[in-house]
Amino acid sequence: MDKSAFGNTRRMIHLLASRARQSVAPRQDAGNRSEPVRLSRDRAGLSVEGVISMSASLATRRVVASLVAAGALIGAAALPAVAADHGRDHKGQRSAVVIGGVQYDSPGRDDRSNRALNGEWVEVKNTGRHSVNLRGFTLTDREGNRYRFSDFRLDGRSSVKVHTGQGRNTQRDLYQGRRQQIWDKRDTATLRDNRGNVLDTQSWGRGGHHS
């Protein structure tokens, strides 16, 4: 229901309510006293509370029935807007899987040994509560060197370091199996999901550690 239609409906309700009050004004008959209709509001809109006396006219009952129907219509029309806002909130949420710390200049002697290669790494962190399967996710540098995750499930509230060199994969450490360093002193690490969507990026250009 658009704003103009909603306004027209509310004006109609006020008009009907005014007629209802005029129609059910208290009247004193010989030995018989009628009571006015009492109106109240609830979450769904306007509803009738109280009783209509036996001496009330048929026209008064029709006005009250129309008043209740119009109130229910407004209550029903308001529900979809709440659901739509809720859906938009969830749609805008960012990914729980992001890049944490980055060690791009391995500490110690840079002799290109496997130990030195494994001294540089990129940390991938799951900030959510639920585990995420990283199968098909990729890490790339500025020059296009790419590491693709195999069937690896990252637990919630945990992280894994992706090392450059060779080693035995565990739940905390993964290895690209390269024989030379890939993360330069000025570089950008990009994390993508299995559909190629960018989840996070980290860039650096000074010092030897970025987090």
- What CATH number does the domain containing 169 carry? 2.60.40.1260
Mark the ranges of the chain whose per-residue pLDDT is less than 50. 24-56, 63-64, 67-68, 72-92, 208
| 81-113 pLDDT per residue, tens | 323 323 323 333 589 999 999 999 888 777 889
Residue 21 dihedral angles phi and psi, to the nearest 5° = -65, -35
Q: Which of 91, 116, 133 is the last residue of a domain?
A: 91
Domain match, 82 and 112 both: no
Domain count, the chain: 2
Residue 115 C-beta-side C-alpha neighbours within 13 Å: 5
Q: What is the pLDDT of residue 44?
A: 41
Q: Are residues 36 and 106 in the same domain?
A: no
Residue at which a domain ends, from 57, 91, 125: 91
Terminal-to-terminal C-alpha distance of the chain? 50
| Same domain membership, residue 112 and residue 26 | no
Q: Which of 49, 67, 91 marks a domain boundary?
A: 91
pLDDT number for residue 81 = 30
CA–CA separation, 109 vs 39, rounded Å?
85
| 206/103 same-domain check | yes
Do 126 and 80 sit in the same domain of this protein? no
Q: What is the per-residue pLDDT for 116?
A: 93
For residues 108 and 185, state if they share a domain.
Answer: yes
pLDDT computed for residue 112 by the predictor: 82
One domain for residues 206 and 102? yes
Q: Are 200 and 98 in contact (CB under 8 A)?
A: yes
Distance CA 36, CA 30 (A): 17
pLDDT of residue 15: 67
Q: Are residues 114 and 132 in the same domain?
A: yes
- Per-residue confidence (pLDDT) for residue 157, from 0 to 100: 97
Residue-level pLDDT at 2 = 52
Asked if 66 and 135 sit in the same domain, the reply is no
Say how far apart CA 192 and CA 197 lie, in whole Å: 5
Helix (H, G, I), strand (E, B) or coil at 145: coil
CA-CA-CA-CA dihedral for 167, 168, 170, 175, to nearest 10:
30
106 lies in the same domain as 175: yes
Same domain? For 76 and 102 the reply is no
**Domain of 206, in residue numbers:** 97-210
Same domain, 148 and 163: yes
Query: According to the model, what pLDDT value does residue 12 have?
Result: 65
> Is the pTM higher than 0.85?
no
